[in-house]
Chain A
Amino acid sequence: MGIDLPLIWAVIISFGVMMYVVMDGFDLGIGMLYPFFKDAGDRDVMMNTVAPVWDGNETWLVLGGAGLFAAFPLAYAVVLSALYLPLVFMLIGLVFRGVAFEFRFKAREERRHIWDKAFIGGSLAATFFQGVVLGAFIEGIPVVDGRFAGAALDWLAPFPLFCGLGLVVAYSLLGCTWLIMKTEGPLQRRMHTLARPLALALLAVIGILSLWTPLAHEAIARRWFSLPNLIWFLPVPLLVLLSIRALLRSVANDDQVRPFLLTLALVFLGYSGLIISLWPNIIPPSISLRDAAAPPQSQGFALVGALLIIPVILGYTAWSYYVFRGKVRHGEGYH
């Protein structure tokens, strides 16, 4: 048996995208929570909890893009051109937010509110349009002769827009529980109060999406509700319910770390659900991983570099989170 290159690359790219969702998710969430916290001191603390790591988080987004280009050029071309406008809005949101992050620290007091607004707007736009991209992707992308055969505004439909909203809720909860973990005192208490409604909203979003997705997409319904699949996949929705229950309890108990871990678990479960729904397609509803794969000499060549360097990036990431572990306090002088 030879090496299954398309499968390896699918795992690498899925892993990269999940790393991105998990890590950039909470720092985008912090941007969206900013409007609820007007006090400059609170805002400083909130930003300081992610300042040391945010740029590394976006590494995974670029890696995902480049990996997709190298390993599945057809998917890279079709998906990206089909979702042109939402992707452009997302990228511009990320550019804005990234630079706002840096210049907020360097701006004069009276100018800082401009960068705050750029940070909020950029985070919100990036998150919402990421959700739209995801929703439009699930809806499926019509392909004829290896080219996108839909219309420019296909994504402007209820399902993708709802996914955009859903991701805003999910990232906000990630940001909120991250801040529960990283802050203390009054700021942390306010995060605790915010976490409950956000968790309930996320429960509603997950519930609606779990009904809407199979109802609107027959293939996905068949994947989940036919036997024996139903039994194999049943743990996913059950674990979602258990996690939400545990999350609500841990928020009520003023736990420090557990809410964040449980939210991560929820995100991971949602992501698994997505992969279960779409596998083995890389351009739903009809183009599979193998159809879109680059020839083995391309995938093999790029794999050498990826296998050498991804462990280094992972090690560095783990190390920087380790260095910055613990609570962030008011007036703590790093930026």
Chain B
Amino acid sequence: MFGWEALDLARIQFAFTVSFHILFPAITIGLASYLAVLEGLWLKTREQVYLDLYHFWLKIFAVNFGMGVVSGIVMAYQFGTNWSNFSTFAGSVTGPLLAYEVLTAFFLEAGFLGVMLFGLNRVGPGLHFFATLMVAIGTLISTFWILASNSWMHTPQGHAIVDGKVIPVDWLAVIFNPSFPYRLLHMAVAAYLATAFFVGASAAWHLLHGHDNPALRKMLSMAMWMALLVAPLQAVIGDFHGLNTLKHQPAKIAAIEGHWENRAGEPTPLILVGWPDMQREETRFAVEIPVLGSLILKHSLSEPIPALKEFAPQDRPNSTVVFWTFRIMVGLGLLMIATGLWSLWLRRSGGLYQSRRFLRMALLMGPSGLLAILAGWFTTEIGRQPWVVHGLLRTRDAVSAHGVTEMSISLALFVVVYLAVFGVGFGYVLHLVHKGPQTDEGREPAHGGAGRPRTPARPLSAPEEGLDEGAPSARS
């Protein structure tokens, strides 16, 4: 297929399926905490608006959760089907971590999700709030395990290598490996930000279309407070994460910066834009600011950062890609900060809910958080290349020995099926958003779930709306 090797196809397939998958958990993590905050505020203030928002976002949360489960089935098998040599080599470390992630997710589904989705009018608000909190904490515990596994692949420690395989020696060292705290924080906060901008854009869409009610205003206001306070915080976390990467994966940083060579005693400039060329070993058309690279990464005016030419050509990550994915992520982050500041300015002048230019900006920023998550993951994962477990196992040694034909068939199938299936799922989410929060929604007991006989408790049976806009609800 297009002259690619089986290895390239395997990488594309993993990138494709995991990129689709991550969008659902990211929103699930963010919405779970948002719902906990909404319910907490409702219990404290007893203002109806919080409860209305809770019911509105609960449905979207449920659809997201369901989609995440379905796309997750594929992920649980892909390490073995496509990356069998990785699984054999590192399975005794990553296998148990992945198992804990799966167990946590199922524990949630078995324990608290049903109460959260269907139980508000049955178990009483206190217990229901507890269930919501547990789901929110649970999504973060799930994040904890999967990022422990991923971070270990970036900065492995706590293991020994026996007979060419990794053996865990110290689980605490494995889990709390050097890049783990930074990556966990960065990802959890990214999920919050992505959700905040999705929520904000939903409100902005309604306000732009002349719908206006207290719930929509509250949504926009909460999302923008989140942007104002958390987007700058994320920049700081990202900075620390970068310093950690510089220490443990210097080639990744050199590739991100498109920085090829150091001249004795000179500080590193910061290249704003340019085109890193892997063949010519230079960054073409570079627009750079002197000294700033050293200042940001070394907090020094003279100390240079490592340069790509210090690494053998076969040990260099693709600078062209990560240079740009990194800049997309940072650019989106700066736009998020700007949106937050703009919202603060409008709050002072009282035009937050009226300024069409601002609302249009908030609408456009809707997917920004999710795009930034994808760009960030592309940066860190491609930046780890040519390694799959940094310094221990190369990606080309990790892949299963499939031929180009099988890989092309499976990739084509995944692309077609994912686009069809999750396209409909995503359309359904947009349809729910389009309907908007309703006053007094959920005052009646939910139609499904625990405590009522013979009713389902699946995540996707929580929203009652039909698939197609404007159609009479055609449920059986």
Contacts and interface: CB of A to CB of B under 8 A. Distances in A.
B130 interface: no
B85 A77 contact: yes
Contacts of A328: 454
A107 interface: yes
B99 A107 contact: no
B312 interface: no
Given A81-B401, A88-B410, A111-B468, A71 B110 contact: no
A231 to B, nearest CB: 38
Nearest to B164: A146
A203 to B, nearest CB: 33
A173 interface: no
Contact of A152 (B403, B465, B466): B403
Given A65-B76, A95-B421, A99-B425, A106 B475 contact: yes
A95 B73 contact: yes
Contact of B457 (A47, A52, A61, A89): A52
A85 interface: yes
From B76, B401, B403, B447, name the one whose CB has the most chain A CB atoms within 10 angstroms. Answer: B76
B193 to A, nearest CB: 28
Interface residues of B, number: 78
B466 A108 contact: yes
A294 interface: yes
Interface in B165-198: 167-169, 171
24 contacts: A52-B454, A56-B110, A62-B76, A65-B76, A69-B91, A70-B91, A70-B96, A73-B90, A77-B91, A80-B87, A84-B402, A87-B81, A95-B73, A95-B417, A99-B424, A103-B424, A107-B466, A107-B468, A108-B472, A109-B474, A298-B95, A309-B104, A323-B454, A334-B455
Given A80-B81, A309-B103, A62 B401 contact: no
Interface of A: 44, 47-48, 51-52, 54-56, 58-59, 61-63, 65-71, 73-74, 76-81, 83-85, 87-89, 91-92, 94-96, 98-99, 102-103, 105-109, 111-112, 146-148, 152, 294-295, 297-298, 301-302, 305-306, 309, 312-313, 315-317, 320, 323-324, 326, 328, 332-335
Contacts of A332: 454
A41 to B, nearest CB: 8
B400 interface: yes
A320 B77 contact: no
B66 A81 contact: no
B173 to A, nearest CB: 12
Interface of B: 66, 69-74, 76-77, 79-82, 84-88, 90-96, 98-104, 106-107, 109-111, 167-169, 171, 400-403, 405-406, 409-410, 413-414, 417-418, 421, 424-425, 428, 447-448, 450, 453-461, 465-468, 471-472, 474-476
A73 B92 contact: yes
Contacts of B425: 99
B437 to A, nearest CB: 20
Contacts of B424: 99, 103
Nearest to B458: A55
Chain A contact residues: helix, strand, loop or mixed: helix
A95 B80 contact: no
Contacts of A106: 428, 465-467, 474-475
Contacts of A333: 447, 475
Given A81-B84, A84-B406, A107-B466, A147 B401 contact: yes
Nearest to A316: B110
B457 A309 contact: no
A81 B276 CA distance: 36
A69 B98 contact: yes
A92 B417 contact: yes
A91 B77 contact: yes
B74 A63 contact: no
A301 B96 contact: yes
B450 A323 contact: yes
A107 B474 contact: yes
Nearest to B70: A98
Nearest to A324: B454
A108 B475 contact: no
A108 B159 CA distance: 55
A67 B102 CA distance: 9
Contacts of A316: 110-111
A81 B103 contact: no
Given A69-B99, A112-B474, A309 B106 contact: yes
Given A309-B103, A313-B107, A81 B81 contact: yes
Contact of B84 (A52, A147, A313): A147
A111 B73 contact: no
Contacts of B474: 106-109, 112
B168 A91 contact: no
B466 A80 contact: no
Contacts of A152: 402-403, 405-406
Given A81-B81, A106-B467, A323-B453, A91 B87 contact: no
Contacts of B171: 297, 301
Contacts of A306: 99, 103
Contact of B91 (A74, A107, A323): A74
Contacts of A67: 99
Nearest to B94: A69
